[in-house]
Amino acid sequence: MNLDLALQTFIHEGRELLTDMENALLVIEQSEEKTELVNAIFRAAHTIKGSAGLFSLDHMVAFTHVVESLLDHVRDGKLEIADQLVAVLLSCCDHIGLMVEAVAAGQTGPDEEMILRGAPLLDQLRSYMAPAKQVVATIEIALDDIDVTDRIASEGGETDHWHISVHFGMDVLKNGMDPLSFIRYLNTLGSISGIVTLHRAIPAAEEMDPEACYLGYEIALQSTCSKADIEGVFEFASDDCRLRILPPNSQISEYVRLIESAPDEASRIGELLVRCGTLTETELNAALNLQSSTEPAQKIGTILVEQNTVHPVVVEAALAKQKQVRESQSKENQTIRVDADKLDQLINLVGELIIVGSGVNLIAQQSVNSELLERTSKLNSLVEDIRDSALQLRMVKIGATFKRFQRVVHDVSRELGKDIELVIEGEDTELDKTVVEQIGDPLMHLVRNALDHGIAPPDVRIARGKQAKGMLKLNAYHDSGHIVITVSDDGGGLKRDKILAKAIEKGLVDPNQMLTDEEVYGLIFEPGFSTADQVSNLSGRGVGMDVVKRNITALRGSVGISSEEGVGTTVSVRLPLTLAIIDGFLVEIGNSVFAIPLDMIEECIAYSAEPGHDYTNLRGQVLPFVRLRELFEVEGEPARRENIVVLKHGELKAGLVVDTLLGEFQTVIKPLSKLFNHVKCISGSTILGSGDVALILDVPALVSLCISNEKKITNDSLLLEAHR
């Protein structure tokens, strides 16, 4: 076994478990049914503790054991999960996370700082825990020992109860389980009317393993709970024990199977059933006689039907459900982890394959060989399928990124004295993992700004006629080959006049300039711009929002704001689905070829416009356009028949005047060097089949340029008219 590889797996899974634990803690207070969430939190802590023990990370085991013990009290109903306890457990999550990261950095033992940081948390955890209750008295029986100590607790000798037979494995203690804790928890579901504690033959002291478990229980439980509830008690030890549960009034054949499950101890198991009150002597004898019968065993479903215990339809339904579970487990087993670097390498190879394929296709067209053209056409189709499949491997759901902000909203709202609920929608929306990795920081700025500036304290909200609890919503959806992420709040909205006055004061806009609401709101993305009256540790220094726009633009995306004063604000971020390979459309100006993302093209039309006008009539609507020849200063005369490529970005439309339309092209995006960072309206490059380089146009920037030119002309006309 490769210990380094196993340790890396532990670190990766530890991070995932802590994320799951944190997410469950953040929603548990609002959840009506808390049992499953408590179990999920307990399961995460228990798994981390057990895994840490395998690598002798004793400091992590010791700390997590106390967390697990407190959660055991919560499961037993001794503690109620409340706001303050959630805050303590979240801090414990952070501390365990720091220990995991320390292990990732090569530190397998605690340092003084780690001990000092964990000590107050341990004190808080222990202060919550009351002394454990005493469990019902037991019978202790050594199976290979004559000495038997009787301590039976019975309630009227009733036999209408559940019988639970649990035999723990030898490694249950090593895996962090406490057999007695299961009995304590079981006692919360009802009343244990009889229990027998048994143990295997304990070897001589010098041969005994002090970490091995020799225990088992035969339990009679008076309860109205279901079998699923009882199974849930032993859920965390399902792999470390042999569990059999028999419902009240079970048939004798059921007890036969229980006795047969331990053939070497059949007589003793039968004796234990009698001692804990589950069977009478007569019933035991009948069971043993049935056990010795030579009749072939029948399937349990057939036995239950013959005994009129269940209807045949119920058995069929149970078998169908069992088959469904097996198929589901089979699908889960087909999932594998793949190193992200390997996926990146695959995408790069697919990109090179597309470039070479384009070259082969060009040669086939020049050769005018029909058979070669047919084969290259099939090759292109296969390459396209491979491209789509490879890109799909890199697609991940954005829900994991959204859920990170549950903790941010929880902590920041407490810090600001606000009551804010985070609502997440569209968490199943998928996009490229590279985009997901780089969008986290911009979203963090937007969320913190909404919490600090957007949503007011409860007393202010009530005075404005709103609910005391504010709402912050994160949403994601697909739109025209892009993903749109929105950050919305129901706060006071942006104050247009205040923003405009501040922008004029800073010299960002001309006092006579006419701006739309969206343009005014967009001023908050200017470097150093802030309307905050006072600086806080969250915002107000004028840094952050300009970084948001710069980072989003670097991802070939755009950002916009809509707001209504007194109602709320929505920031919309539009991003490409992938940064690697796209479907493109080639156009030509003179001898220069440009690529346009195909999903941002609405249509192509013949050029028509009045001389000197930078707009045309598109079915009754004004379509502003930009001439690429003039924009990029391409030498030469325009083509005799120019074309207009109609672009769409969100709700906006604009046109590009080009010489020639060359058609669709699988575009492998190659980033430009830093030398070209200042070049506007270009987002990257690609390699054509001929080996030449084509520049990829930045559609959002081009659309914005067209709209700005149109508004400038309109403003100039209005000012000229006013002057007259």
What backbone phi and psi angles, to 5 degrees, belong to 2? -80, 105
Could you tell me the strand order of the sheet in which 139-142 lies? 148-149, 139-142, 191-199, 215-222, 162-168, 241-246
Spell out where 20-169 has E strands: 139-142, 148-149, 162-168
Whether 166 and 200 map to the same domain: the answer is yes
pLDDT tens-digit readout, 652-691: 889 999 999 998 888 888 877 777 767 788 888 888 888 8
Whether 209 and 156 map to the same domain: the answer is yes
Kindly state the average pLDDT of the residues 251-278: 57
C-alpha span between 639 and 634 (Å, rounded): 12
Whether 560 and 631 map to the same domain: the answer is no
Q: Are 345 and 338 spatial neighbours (Cβ–Cβ below 8 Å)?
A: no
C-alpha span between 628 and 681 (Å, rounded): 10
* pLDDT of res. 260: 57
Q: What is the percent of the chain where pLDDT is above 90?
A: 10
Whether 303 is covered by a domain: the verdict is no
Q: What is the pTM of this model?
A: 0.62
* pLDDT of res. 158: 40
Q: Are 52 and 28 spatial neighbours (Cβ–Cβ below 8 Å)?
A: no
* pLDDT of res. 92: 92
* pLDDT of res. 593: 92
* pLDDT of res. 365: 85
C-alpha span between 492 and 175 (Å, rounded): 53
> Amino acid identity of 4?
D
C-alpha span between 113 and 354 (Å, rounded): 54
For residue 245, the 8-state DSSP code is E
Helix (H) or strand (E) holding 475: strand 470-479
Whether 534 and 560 map to the same domain: the answer is yes
* pLDDT of res. 660: 92
* pLDDT of res. 137: 39
Whether 72 and 121 map to the same domain: the answer is yes
- Residue for token pair 């365990």: 96
Q: Which of 53-67, 156-170, 524-538, 707-721 has the lowest mean pLDDT?
A: 707-721
Query: Residue 647: which pLDDT band, with cuts at 50, 70 and 90?
Result: very high
Residues 6+ apart with CB under 8 A from 166: 182, 216, 217, 219, 234, 241, 242, 243, 244
Alpha helices in 226-311 (DSSP H): 227-233, 252-260, 266-275, 281-291, 300-306
Cα-Cα end-to-end distance for the chain: 87
Pick from 576, 595, 626: which residue ends a domain? 576
Task: Give me the CATH number covering residue 110.
Answer: 1.20.120.160
Whether 34 and 98 map to the same domain: the answer is yes
Whether 320 is covered by a domain: the verdict is no
pLDDT at 39 over 90: no
Whether 358 and 464 map to the same domain: the answer is no
Kindly state the average pLDDT of the residues 141-149: 34
> Amino acid identity of 123?
D
Whether 16 and 114 map to the same domain: the answer is yes
C-alpha span between 60 and 42 (Å, rounded): 15
Whether 325 is covered by a domain: the verdict is no
Query: Residue 93: which pLDDT band, with cuts at 50, 70 and 90?
Result: very high
pLDDT tens-digit readout, 59-75: 898 899 889 888 888 88
Q: How many structural domains is the chain composed of?
A: 5
Nearest to 68 by CA among 95, 53, 54, 48: 48
Q: Which of 165-179, 192-206, 559-573, 633-647 has the lowest mean pLDDT?
A: 192-206
Mean residue pLDDT of the chain comes to 78
* pLDDT of res. 334: 60
Distance of CA 336 to the CA centre of its chain: 17
Higher per-residue confidence, 337 vs 85: 85
For residue 565, the 8-state DSSP code is T
pLDDT at 379 over 80: yes
For residue 578, the 8-state DSSP code is -
State the CB neighbour count (10 A cutoff) for residue 453. Answer: 21
Whether 257 is covered by a domain: the verdict is yes
Query: Residue 266: which pLDDT band, with cuts at 50, 70 and 90?
Result: very low
Whether 69 is covered by a domain: the verdict is yes
What is the bridge-based pairing of β-strands 241-246 and 215-222? unpaired
pLDDT at 55 over 90: no
Whether 424 and 553 map to the same domain: the answer is yes
- Residue for token pair 């929002």: 545
Whether 379 and 458 map to the same domain: the answer is no
pLDDT tens-digit readout, 306-327: 555 555 655 565 566 556 555 5
Whether 311 is covered by a domain: the verdict is no
Whether 314 is covered by a domain: the verdict is no
Q: Which of 319-328, 347-356, 558-567 has the lowest mean pLDDT?
A: 319-328
Q: Are 266 and 180 spatial neighbours (Cβ–Cβ below 8 Å)?
A: no
* pLDDT of res. 306: 57
Look up residue 142 and give its two tokens.
């050594």
Kindly state the average pLDDT of the residues 507-526: 82
C-alpha span between 53 and 58 (Å, rounded): 6
* pLDDT of res. 141: 38
pLDDT tens-digit readout, 603-628: 999 998 888 788 888 888 888 999 99
Distance of CA 485 to CAs 406, 473, 477, Å? 16, 10, 7
Pick from 278, 293, 308: which residue ends a domain? 293
Higher per-residue confidence, 713 vs 207: 207
| Domain hosting residue 194, numbered range | 139-293
Q: Are 517 and 538 spatial neighbours (Cβ–Cβ below 8 Å)?
A: no
Q: What is the 3-state secondary structure (H, E, C) of 359-428?
A: HHHHHHHHHCCHHHHHHHHHHHHHHHHHHHHHHHHCEEECHHHHHHHHHHHHHHHHHHCCCEEEEECCCC
Kindly state the average pLDDT of the residues 52-58: 81
pLDDT at 45 over 70: yes
Nearest to 20 by CA among 7, 37, 35: 37
Task: Give me the CATH number covering residue 636.
Answer: 2.30.30.40
Pick from 89, 108, 128: which residue ends a domain? 128
Kindly state the average pLDDT of the residues 362-372: 86
Nearest to 647 by CA among 711, 596, 608: 596
C-alpha span between 339 and 9 (Å, rounded): 12
Kindly state the average pLDDT of the residues 431-455: 87
Task: Give me the CATH number covering residue 411.
Answer: 3.30.565.10
Helix, strand, coil share (%) of the chain residues, nearest 5 = 50, 20, 30
3-state secondary structure (DSSP) of residue 280: coil
202-239 as b/e: b if 16+ CB within 10 A? eeeeeeeeeeebbbbbbbbbbbeeeeeebebbbebbee
Nearest to 247 by CA among 139, 165, 155: 165
Half-sphere exposure (CA, 13 Å, Cβ side) for 221?
Answer: 27
* pLDDT of res. 538: 55
pLDDT at 570 over 90: yes
* pLDDT of res. 204: 75
Residues 6+ apart with CB under 8 A from 314: none
Higher per-residue confidence, 98 vs 558: 98
Helix 545-554 crosses helix 433-449 at what angle (to 10 degrees)?
A: 160
* pLDDT of res. 527: 77
* pLDDT of res. 201: 64
Whether 117 and 152 map to the same domain: the answer is no
Query: Residue 147: which pLDDT band, with cuts at 50, 70 and 90?
Result: very low
Look up residue 532 and give its two tokens.
């905050």
pLDDT at 145 over 50: no
Whether 687 and 587 map to the same domain: the answer is yes
Whether 12 is covered by a domain: the verdict is yes
Kindly state the average pLDDT of the residues 540-563: 77
DSSP secondary structure, 530-562, as one string: ---SS--SSS-SS-SHHHHHHHHHHTT-EEEEE
Helix (H) or strand (E) holding 330: helix 312-332
Q: Which of 14-18, 122-126, 142-146, 405-409 has the lowest mean pLDDT?
A: 142-146
